[in-house]
Amino acid sequence: MTSALPSPDWRALRDAHAARIAERTDAHIARRKAGKKHPVEDFLFTYYPFKAGQLAKWNPGPGIRLELESDSDRRYFDRRWYMGDAAGTVAEVDVESWMADRGDGAKFIASLLRSTLHREANFGCFGLHEWAMVYRLSEEQRRHQQVPLRLSREATDAVVEGHRIRCSHHDAFRFFTEPARPLNTMQPSRESMVRDEQPGCLHAGMDLYKWAMKIGPVADSDLVVDCFDLALDIRTLDMEASPYDLRGWGYGVVAVETAEGKAEYMARQRAFSERAQSLRQRLLEALSAVGVHAA
């Protein structure tokens, strides 16, 4: 039997992870307690069903046995999909239990990741999904009312009407306004995700954080944090290229209604796509290591 990682060693890794997460979540937690909102930094905690405390839980990944020296050690791993020996001296990820609970969903995730990984990227959408989400809405109807639009309502609608809308992501498309939905060249649905998702899509890259969290302790914490960081960086571009004016929040403007803005958007989109492809591969490798493969 392989030796277990000594308790002082894994505690140091756990504490380092907790510090990394605190840097990313302390401001969000403070705003939530104060009843305040941030249009970029809070998004990952409102759009996705994961709380900061879940993100802070350290997972080493499967196949790593952890030495337990104290009741505190044992309490830390007294959670779902971990198992220990009868004496309470070691803990590790319970892959068999995880497979029973999450195996079917993990196969779908693997299929989605694999199909997206090998599909040609489209870099010509220019983030117009955010514009389609406010198309023909009154000031009272639109989301993010604490953030003003960068253009007039009429000019914002004209941007939508003057471009070809090519959104391939179901969870973005479902927020289109009713008048905007027929303008999209695709009609993506949840059922067509494996067929439609493509690696140039910002939302597909952002969703890697969701998939990393959904496969739980099978994705180690370093991988989860890397996916979180990509998602936050993507959200920044998503909003800078949107019809909203975030300059008052310290952000820039990517004016996708102009040639210069389109060029900047595509350059940043390509860089995010490269990061996302690397993370897709790592997620697939984590799933493969426990016997989960694309259908």
Band the pLDDT of 1: cuts 50, 70, 90.
Answer: very low
Residue 65 and residue 67: Cα distance in Å, rounded? 7
Per-residue pLDDT reduced to its tens digit, 115-146: 999 999 999 999 999 999 999 998 878 877 78
The average confidence (pLDDT) of the chain is 96
pLDDT of 2: 60
% of the chain with per-residue pLDDT over 90:
95
Per-residue pLDDT reduced to its tens digit, 54-89: 999 999 999 999 999 999 999 999 999 999 999 999
Per-residue pLDDT reduced to its tens digit, 104-113: 999 999 999 9
Look up residue 180 and give its DSSP letter: T
Token pair, residue 197, equals 């998702």
> How far out from the chain centre does Cα 227 lie?
6
Q: What are phi and psi of 242, to 5 degrees?
A: -85, 175
Residue ranges of domains in the chain: 42-49+95-289
Are the CB atoms for 288 and 61 separated by under 8 Å? no
pTM, full prediction:
0.96
Instruction: Compute CA distances 287 → 175, 228, 264, whole Å.
Output: 31, 18, 35
